[in-house]
Chain A
Amino acid sequence: MSVIRASGLKKTFRTGFLMRQVEAVRHVDLDVAKGSIYGFIGPNGAGKTTCIKMLTGLIRPTAGEAWINGLPVSDPDSRRGLGFLPEGTFFHEYLTGAEFLDFHARLLNLPASVRRERIPALLERVGIGHAADLRIRRYSKGMRQRVGLAQTLIGDPDVLILDEPMSGLDPLGRRDVRDLILSLRDDGKTVFVTSHILGDAELICDHVAIILGGRIVSEGCLDELLGKEVAGVEVVVEGISEALFEELRTGATRAVSQGSRFLFEYADEAQAEKAVDTVRSADGRLRSLVPRRRSLEELMVADIEREKERAG
């Protein structure tokens, strides 16, 4: 069952003094299954945020339709079970974290008893329970992102739309957000997430759509898109001579020397094993051998290059 659906979404803006037409989104179809984590990936300016704003009723589509939980997005009731994290700043800076959540909870008509329980619990869950009574003006960027996530969850929504939720977070914060998103899926919620940090998206998403120039160019389960077969094998060795490094790099797709360590990447396992044998016979030490599948980044770069070729 799909909880977010879009058909032929299109958005054209008029900009500048001459009202020049700019096609931000050309044609987007979406079908997001219940209980999945759906990654909406693309470079800056690809149309991700415009699509999200059409889904949340902030922008009216020029053409096409979209539904959330079966209701057209033009109906404000479609947002009844929706939690939305906009990108960047969207905070009433004069409010404390607890006041901010209380305001959003009251917009959802949550009773006082629920608010009293849920607000401190959510602030703890996102890791800023200690800053509940501090004005948001004094929050760090990471704390703002966390209180923003708490705002998204305040109504206990079934569907979450998160625009760049990892933006501005340090590695620890990114890990926390990844864990939070995974736990939301475990709770049966559907998460639609945009990210330009492809490694993060690859770690959490079940399903991915790549958007370029306002059109979806690749879409499917992560395993389908990236393939299960090995795309390359990384070998890290130590204690080899410069001459052997030069010899081994001839068959490698990539070779990097870093102090006493050397990294080689080979196209297949047979080549990698042959290189390991050569290293061992020269009394070198094998530090790691890691088969690597195709990454989301490689997929997106390939898509971008294909689109460039298509465009001319």
Chain B
Amino acid sequence: MNSLQRIWVLAQNTYREAIRDKLLYNLLLFAALMIVSSIVLAKLHLGYDERIYRDVGLAAIAMFGAMIAIFVGINLVYREISQKTVHAMLAKPVRRWEFILGKYLGLVSLLVIEIGIMSGFFLAVLVYKGSPWEWAMVWAIGFIFLELALITAVAIFFSSFTTPYLAGMFTVALWIIGHLLADVRDFGLQQGSEGIRPLTEALYWSLPNLDRLDIKAAAADGNAIDAARMAGAALYAVCYSGVLLMGGMLLFQRRDFK
């Protein structure tokens, strides 16, 4: 019970710190500009208006959401260590795993708000242009949230033991590779080489496969999305995030605060 209370306090404080960070508002502003720019882009591609509103809107939510998850997330953990605010916290009966979990939950609650705001801009564009709203887009936004929650877990994992620059680089790299893993696997299968194939298979199964969570294209096309596939992908995101968080907690537990 005490642990839950402390995690809640840490999450609240993380959220409060994030919403007082100017970087967040700058990124949200750019996201809004990109979503609104879909109106101009649609004029350049006659006949594809609705597809462009949806593609650009969902892409902006995913891309700026990832930037917020990576850069705000890493900064928030790093600042606690570099500015030594973590010292006074951990010199209380606060478990280190509570600190990591509290940070993560604070950031995830920030993602909920931030995705909500960006979705608001997206919806406003659709309403303004009289484009129909479909439930598939709600699912797509839900899966963007799951992807961002996983990316946040990656950022927290790397922040628990390395510098913010390295943590940022590793997280961005995994975000990019995570969307290319199907291609990486196909490359290994096509090569047929015994040396490359085990490597590409290992990468495919061990790194976060973000393509599994990407249903933006299907949602933009208005296609039906298989419920079993969605349930499997959601379970995958939750389990992968959980494993990363536990890894981060173990590494943070062993860390010395000089």
Q: Which residues of A contact B (CB under 8 A)?
A: 13, 50, 53, 56-60, 76-77, 79-80, 82, 84-86, 88-95, 103-104, 106-109, 148, 151, 155, 161
Contacts and interface: CB of A to CB of B under 8 A. Distances in A.
A268 B170 CA distance: 70
A53 B256 CA distance: 9
Interface in B211-258: 254, 256-258
List the 9 closest A-B pairs by CB distance, nearest first: A84-B91, A56-B91, A58-B257, A86-B87, A90-B84, A106-B9, A94-B20, A59-B256, A76-B93
Given A53-B256, A76-B94, 14 more contacts: A53-B87, A53-B257, A57-B91, A58-B87, A59-B258, A79-B91, A79-B93, A80-B93, A82-B92, A88-B84, A90-B88, A91-B85, A104-B92, A151-B88
Given A53-B257, A94-B16, A94-B17, A86 B84 contact: yes
Interface string B10-22: 1001001100100
B98 to A, nearest CB: 9
A104 B94 CA distance: 11
Given A76-B95, A89-B83, A109-B2, A104 B88 contact: yes
Nearest to A92: B85
B85 A90 contact: yes
B33 interface: no
Contacts of A77: 93
Interface string B87-126: 1111111110000000000000000000000000000000
A92 B85 CA distance: 7
A86 B91 contact: yes
Interface residues of B, number: 25
B179 interface: no
B197 interface: no
B36 to A, nearest CB: 30
A86 B93 contact: no
Contacts of A89: 83-84
A95 B13 CA distance: 9
Interface of B: 2, 5-6, 9-10, 13, 16-17, 20, 83-85, 87-95, 254, 256-258
Contacts of B16: 94-95
Contacts of B10: 107
Most chain A CB inside 10 Å of its own CB: which residue of B85, B92, B94: B92
A90 B257 contact: no
A151 B16 CA distance: 19
A92 B12 CA distance: 13
A69 to B, nearest CB: 12
B87 A107 contact: no
B92 A108 contact: yes
B257 A59 contact: yes
Contacts of A148: 88
A58 B83 contact: no
28 contacts: A50-B258, A53-B87, A56-B91, A58-B87, A58-B91, A58-B257, A59-B257, A60-B256, A76-B94, A79-B91, A79-B92, A79-B93, A82-B91, A84-B91, A89-B83, A90-B87, A91-B85, A93-B83, A94-B17, A95-B16, A104-B88, A104-B92, A107-B89, A108-B92, A108-B93, A109-B2, A109-B6, A155-B92
Contacts of A80: 93
Nearest to B254: A60
Nearest to B9: A106
Contacts of A108: 92-93
B12 to A, nearest CB: 8
A60 B256 CA distance: 7
Contacts of A76: 93-95
A84 B88 contact: yes
A161 B92 CA distance: 12
Contacts of B258: 13, 50, 53, 59
B256 A109 contact: no
Most chain A CB inside 10 Å of its own CB: which residue of B2, B20, B87, B95: B87
